[in-house]
Amino acid sequence: MLLQVEPLRKVTGELRSARRCPPKYTPKASSAMAKLGLSYERKIVRDLMRSVWLVEHNPWFEFQDELGVSTCCPDIILTADSKIIVIEVKLTWVPEAIEKLRGLYCPVVEYALAAEVFPLIIVKNLRPDAPPVQDSVQRALESEMPILQWIGSGHIPWL
């Protein structure tokens, strides 16, 4: 039996609305690799919780665009003062991560929270086709491709 892979959902046309909504489900691992990925994500959340930022893990949003009403759930949202960072966590780099951030999560969160948002990918492993990565959150946010590689030990570097 072949599994059908759903195409990446992006905001189509203009957003008509976006708001927080109750959780639809809790992410569950369907394979050993998925379990490693969710474990890595929880490790990042624990490390970020020690910062001065407000850390939200798997917040849910409902939005409406030209395709109708849908929901999405970014991995992590960090908020401090008026700065919001939307984080996509990947055990191994995939190019779809930045597409998901820029095409779905950031526009929806920006609309729902009425604030400028900044995308960030945190990745543990790299593939040969990965773009250059940064060694701190600050440098990643300032780069064209906002990717931070964190191998999961020590603290996530901010500066």
Domain contains 84: yes
User: In angstroms, rounded to a whole number, what is the distance separating the alpha carbons of residues 50 and 32?
Assistant: 28
- In the chain, the number of structural domains is 1
User: In angstroms, rounded to a whole number, what is the distance separating the alpha carbons of residues 121 and 1?
Assistant: 33
| Domain of residue 107, CATH code | 3.40.1350
**For the chain, percent of residues with pLDDT exceeding 90:** 81
Domain contains 89: yes
Q: In which domain, by residue range, is 115 found?
A: 51-159
Opening angle at CA 134, ends 129 and 140, nearest 5: 110
63-92: pLDDT as tens digits: 999 999 999 999 999 997 778 999 999 999
The kind and range of the H/E element at 65 are: strand 61-65
Domain contains 135: yes
Q: Which of 25, 19, 8 is nearest to 61 (CA)?
A: 19
Domain contains 45: no
Domain contains 20: no
Alpha carbon dihedral 126, 127, 129, 132, in 10-degree steps, equals 10
